[in-house]
Amino acid sequence: MEKKNIDWSSLGFGYVQTDMRYVSNYKNGAWDDGCLTDQANVTMSECACVLQYAQTCFEGMKAYTTQDGHIVCFRPDLNAQRMADSCRRLKMPVFPEDRFVKAVVETVRANAAWVPPYGSGASLYLRPFMFGSDAIIGVKPATEFQFRVFATPVGPYFKGGIKPLKLRICDYDRAAPRGTGHVKAGLNYAMSLYAIVDAHEQGYDENVYLDSGSRTFIEETGGANIVFVKGNTLVTPKSDTILPSITRRSLVQVAKDYLGMEVEEREVALSEIGDFTECGLCGTAAVISPVGTIVDHGKEINYAGFGPTIQKLYDTLTGIQMGRIPAPEGWIEVIE
């Protein structure tokens, strides 16, 4: 199969329309058989529930080429589970988890020419998503839904690649106690847009959100979980209102089983972040991106950027993903 003629190493994190996407529709209480289509546009009622009441959720994952030339995907079963959780919280019908994984695999296969080659630093980002599509004017869930998966080749999420990030403690909140912070609802991202534009205008790469109940504990950023390092210990916030990052859960296992580190998943107070030596953001898009500075209202806290532990975590996780280091059972879904 001939690859597309793209300068893979200069790709940013943007949308490029690829050849095929997967679509399935839900109507009269059931999902149809689903299929691949070349139709990238969606047509629906002006009163569709997604347009009026933001009834939509999504996932983000990557396919890439391993050292030995296979196209693989990283832990898609966990994306399927998390999307099912998002659907239940938003009163949307779950797209069966096994069908979710099959839809992702089919979408990757149909766009194999768009999967960046090994060593390019790029990958094929996959975006499964679902929305309420029928006309709803009183506030209630839709009865018809569409599930889609599209693919787009991407480079690094943060501009400047692996330059250490500059974050700020944000005065806006991301998620309410007992709200939807723990699921991947579109609405969580809509409400973060004001804060991220403002952060960029002020010269920051991302916002660090605090728990909105007490505003004393670290939660996460707009698009990634956060990890800290102190000695041989990896510390990461535990909270009911952060998104359970698949990358963070994987890094926790890598830290324990591959690097022999201690791991603390616990509340992390804003007042203690100066005690850590390294800090990183983790997510599908970010992998693990080193943090150089967090600014808390004029007070600067500096970290080692690509310090030794963040570097080891990065090397080990990407080594597992790229097939250079043996993966734990079930982490790598070989597509072809």
Binding residues (CB under 6 A) for ligand PLP: these are 60, 220, 223-225, 243, 245-248, 283-285
**Residue 3 is a catalytic residue:** no
CB distance 112 to 336 below 8 Å: yes
Nearest approach, Cβ of 218 to ligand PLP (angstroms)?
13
Contact 181, 89 (CB under 8 A): no
Q: Which two tokens stand for residue 289?
A: 């991106």
The span from the CA of 49 to the CA of 60, in Å, is 22
Residue (104 or 136) nearer to ligand PLP, CB: 104
CA angle 277, 281, 284 (to 5 degrees): 150
If the CB atoms of residues 106 and 219 are measured against ligand PLP, the closer one turns out to be 219
Residue whose CB is less far from ligand PLP, 120 or 284: 284
Identity of the residue, 280 or 283, whose beta carbon is nearer to ligand PLP in the bound complex: 283
Q: How do strand 35-37 and strand 30-31 relate by DSSP bridges?
A: unpaired
Closest CA to 244 of 98, 83, 87, 130: 83
Closer to ligand PLP by Cβ: residue 185 or 261 = 185
Shortest Å, Cβ 202 to ligand PLP:
20
- Distance (Å, whole) CA 201 – CA 199: 5
Residue nearest to ligand PLP as judged by C-beta position: 283
H or E stretch at 58: strand 56-58
**Residue bearing tokens 């992998």:** 287
The least CB distance from residue 75 to ligand PLP, in Å, is 9
Residue 266 CA to residue 239 CA, distance in Å, equals 8
Q: Which of 184, 238, 299, 312 is catalytic?
A: 184
Say how many CA atoms lie within 13 Å of 102 toward its Cβ.
11
> Minimum distance between the CB of residue 126 and ligand PLP, rounded to whole angstroms?
11
- Compute the least distance from the CB of residue 204 to ligand PLP, in Å: 16
Active site residues: 184
